Structure 1
Amino acid sequence: MASVFTYDPDPPRVSSPWIQADDADSSPGSGAAVTQTGLLSEYGVTRLEAEPQTGPIEYKLHLLLRSRRSYVYMSTVRQKRDKLHAQPGDIAALYSASPTPSSSSQPRQERLQRLTTQLLWRLQQSSPYHASSSREVRIPKLSDGKGDAGSPDAHGTQMPGLEESQGALYEIGVADDGTLVGLSRDELDESIATLKNMAASLGCGVTVLRMVIVGDCEWIEIAEPEGNAARKPVQVTKQDKLWVAEALITPNTEVQRSKSLQDVKSHDGSDGATSLQPSTSTTAPPGHAKSTTPQLRVTLTGPIASGKSSLLGTLSTGTLDNGRGKSRLSLLKHRHEMASGMTSSIAQELIGYKERLIFNFSHRNIESWLDIHDYASNGRLVFMSDSGGHPRYRHTVFRGLMNWAPHWMVLCIAADDAEVTHDMASMVMDSADTDLVKAHLDLSLKLDVPLAIVITKLDLASKASLQKTMTKILAAIRDAKRVPKLLQPDQQPQEQLAQIPQADWDKVQNWVGMVDQQEGPLKHVPIVFTSVLKGVGVGLVHALLASLPLPEAPTTTPQTGSTDSKGHPEQPEGLFYIDDTFNLPRSFDDSPSSADGVIVSGHVRFGSFSVGQTIVVGPFSTGHGRVSASEDQSSPDERGSPMLNAVATGHAGISRSYDTPPVIAADEWPRGRIVSIRNLRLPVGTLEAGQVGSIGVVFEQVQTELMPLKTETPQIRRGMVMATPPVDALGSEVTLQAARGFTAEFDEDAAEFPPLGSTVNVLFGCVRTAARIIDASTQRRETATASDVDEAAVAAEHRSEERVTKVTVELIHSRKWAELGTSVIIMGNGSQDGSGLQGFVGKITHVVS
Structure 2
Amino acid sequence: MKSSIYNITKKGERKNIEFKESLNKKYHLEKDRKQRLASQMKYRMERGDGEAIYFIGVDDDGNLKGLDEYKMEESLFVLKNIAQEIGSVILNLDKYPGDNGTVAQALIGKKNNVKKDHMLVGVAGHVDHGKSTLIGTLTTGNLDNGSGRTRIFLDLQKHEIERGLSADLSFAIYGFCNGETLRVKNPLNKKEKAKLVENCDKVISFVDTVGHEPWLRTTIRGIVGQKLNYGLVTVAANEGPTHITKEHLGIIMAMELPVIIAITKTDIVTDETVKEVKEKVFELLKLVGRIPFMVKTDTDAEFIAKNMNQHLVPVLNVSSLNGEGLNLLDHLFLNLPIQDNKYKRKKPFMMYIDKIYSVMGVGTVLSGTVRQGKVKKGDKLLLGPDGTGKFLDVSIKSIEMHHYKKDDAEAGDVVGISVTGVDIGDIKRGMIICAFDYDKVPVRDFEAEVAILVHPTTIREGYECITHIETISETAIIEPLDKEYMSAGDTGKVHMRFKYRPYCIKEGQKVIFREGRSKGIGSVTKIIE
- TM-score (normalised: structure 1): 0.48
Question: Of 25, 32, 46, which aligns to 1:143?
Answer: 25
Letter in 2 for 1:507: D
The verdict on how the C-alpha distance between 1:144 and 1:339 changes in structure 2, with shifts beyond 3 A counting, is: same
Residues in 2 aligned to 1:286 and 1:399: alpha-carbon distance in whole angstroms: 37
Structure 2 residue aligned with 1:807: 494
The residue correspondences of 1:287-686 to structure 2 (distance < 5 A) are 287-288=110-111, 290-362=113-185, 368-376=192-200, 379-418=201-240, 435-488=243-296, 504=298, 506-515=299-308, 521-553=309-341, 555=343, 573-583=348-358, 598-622=364-388, 668-686=390-408
Question: What's the offset of the Cα at 1:844?
Answer: 1.1
- Whether contact under 8 Å (2:195, 2:404) holds in the other structure is no
696 and 286 in structure 1: CA distance in 2 versus 1, 3 angstrom threshold: farther
Tell me which amino acid in the other structure corresponds to 2:313.
V
Contact 1:572/1:726 (CA < 8 Å) preserved in 2? no
Q: CA deviation at 1:393?
A: 2.2
| TM-aligned CA deviation for residue 552 of structure 1 | 2.9
Distance 1:459 1:713, change over 3 A: closer
Q: Distance in 2 between matches of 1:415 and 1:713?
A: 45
What letter matches 2:430 in structure 1? G
Structure 2 counterpart SS, 1:150: helix
SS at match of 1:149: helix
2:525 aligns with: 845
- Please tell me the residue identity of whatever aligns with 2:195: D
CA offsets per residue over residues 217-257 of structure 1, 9 Å max, x none?
A: xxxxxxxxxxxxxxxxxxxxxxxxxxxxxxxxxxxxxxx9x
Q: 1:542 to 1:329 in 2, by over 3 A?
A: same
Is the CA contact (8 Å cut-off) linking 1:295 and 1:381 kept in structure 2?
yes
Change (3 A) 1:467 1:286: closer
Equivalent residue letter for 1:806: K
CA displacement 1:719-742 (0-9 Å, x = unmatched)? 100011128xxxxxx8x3210022
SS of corresponding position for 2:441: coil
Aligned mates of 2:454, 2:425 — CA distance in 1: 40
- Matches of 1:151 and 1:671 in 2, distance apart? 39
Are the aligned partners of 1:608 and 1:687 in contact in 2 as well (CA < 8 Å)? yes
User: Which residue, out of 506, 509, 516, partners 1:830?
Assistant: 516
- Residue type of the alignment partner of 1:143: K
User: CA–CA distance in 2 between the matches of 1:485 and 1:392?
Assistant: 32
Shift of 1:142: 6.7
1:695 corresponds, among 404, 411, 417, to 417
Which amino acid is the alignment partner of residue 719 of structure 1? G
Q: Give the deviation of 1:317 after TM superposition.
A: 1.1
* Distance change (3 Å), C-alpha of 1:302 and 1:514: same
Deviation of the 1:814 alpha carbon: 0.4
> What amino acid is aligned across from residue 470 of structure 2 in structure 1?
G
Specify whether residues 739 and 812 from structure 1 end up closer, same or farther in structure 2 by C-alpha distance, changes over 3 A only. Answer: same
1:721 to 1:403, Cα distance in 2 relative to 1, 3 A? same
> Tell me, which stretches of 5 or more residues in structure 1 are unaligned?
1-140, 159-196, 205-255, 257-284, 422-433, 489-502, 516-520, 558-570, 589-596, 624-667, 701-711, 728-733, 780-802, 832-837
Structure with the bigger percentage of strand: 2
What is the one-letter code of the residue matched to 1:485?
F
User: Does the 8 A contact of 2:236 with 2:263 survive in 1?
Assistant: yes
- 1:5 aligned partner: none
Instruction: State the SS of the aligned residue for 2:426.
Output: coil
Partner residue of 2:463?
758
Q: Distance in 2 between matches of 1:289 and 1:313?
A: 26
Q: Distance in 2 between matches of 1:719 and 1:529?
A: 37
Counterpart amino acid of residue 478 in structure 2: I
Following superposition, the deviation at residue 362 of structure 1 comes to 4.1
The structural deviation recorded for 1:538 is 0.7
Question: What is the match of residue 58 of structure 1?
Answer: none
- Distance in 1 between the 2:208 and 2:359 partners? 26
In structure 1, C-alpha distance between the alignment counterparts of 2:239 and 2:205, rounded to whole Å:
27
Alignment size in residue pairs: 443
Are the equivalent residues in 1 in contact too, given 2:400–2:416 (CA < 8 A)?
A: yes
**Match of 2:312, as an amino acid?**
H
Q: CA–CA distance in 1 between the matches of 2:475 and 2:424?
A: 26
Relative to structure 1, is the Cα distance of residues 808 and 555 closer, same or farther in structure 2, using a 3 angstrom cutoff? farther
Whole-angstrom distance in 2 between the partners of 1:395 and 1:822: 18
Q: Do the aligned partners of residues 202 and 621 (structure 1) sit closer, same or farther apart at CA in structure 2, a change above 3 Å counting?
A: farther
For residue 753 of structure 1, report the CA deviation from its aligned partner: 6.0
Q: Which runs of 5+ in 2 are unaligned?
A: 1-22, 43-79, 89-107, 485-489
Closer, same or farther: CA 142–675 of 1 in aligned 2, 3 Å? farther
CA spacing shift, 1:457–1:374, aligned 2, 3 Å: same
Q: How does 1:1-400 map to 2 (within 5 A)?
A: 143-144=25-26, 147-151=30-34, 201=84, 203=86, 287-288=110-111, 290-362=113-185, 368-376=192-200, 379-400=201-222
Query: What residue number does 2:15 align with?
Result: none
Where 2:126 maps in the other structure, the secondary structure is coil
**8 Å Cα contact 1:530/1:537 also seen in 2:** yes
The C-alpha deviation readout for 1:273-325, integer Å capped at 9, x for no partner, is: xxxxxxxxxxxx97246351100000110001100011011011111111111
Deviation at 1:776, TM superposition (A): 3.7
Residue pairs, 1:698-713, within 5 angstroms: 698-699=420-421
Match of 2:429 among 699, 706, 718: 718
Q: Is the contact made by 2:385 and 2:503 (CA closer than 8 Å) also made in structure 1?
A: yes
| TM-align CA RMSD | 3.5
Deviation, 1:522, is 1.2
Pair 1:846–1:507, CA change in 2 (3 A):
same
What is the distance in 2 between the residues matched to 1:338 and 1:455? 24
Separation of aligned partners in 1, 2:149 and 2:378:
44
User: Could you tell me how far apart the structure 2 residues matched to 1:556 and 1:316 are?
Assistant: 29
Show the counterpart of 2:54: none
* Structure 2: distance between partners of 1:318 and 1:198: 37
Contact 1:295 1:380 in 2 (8 A): yes
Aligned to 2:12: none
**Alpha carbons of structure 1 residues 768 and 199: separation in structure 2 relative to 1, 3 Å:** farther
Q: Distance in 1 between matches of 2:81 and 2:117?
A: 32
* Closer/same/farther in 2, CA of residues 355 and 510 from structure 1, 3 Å limit: farther
1:345–1:388 contact (8 Å) kept in structure 2: yes
* SS of residue matched to 1:369: helix
Q: Could you tell me how far apart the structure 2 residues matched to 1:327 and 1:435 are?
A: 26
Larger Rg: 1
CA contact (8 A) 2:306 2:336 kept: no
Structure 2 letter corresponding to 1:547: N
One-letter identity of the residue aligned with 2:332: L
Following the alignment from structure 1 to structure 2, what is the Cα–Cα distance between the partners of residues 308 and 694? 24
Q: How far apart are 1:334 and its partner, in Å?
A: 2.0
Q: Distance in 1 between matches of 2:339 and 2:347?
A: 22
| Partner amino acid, structure 1, of 2:199 | Y
**AA of the residue aligned to 1:758:** Y
1:470 offset after TM fit, Å? 2.6
Contact 1:203–1:286 at 8 Å: present in 2 too? no
Amino acid across the alignment from 2:171: Q
Distance change (3 Å), C-alpha of 1:388 and 1:804: closer
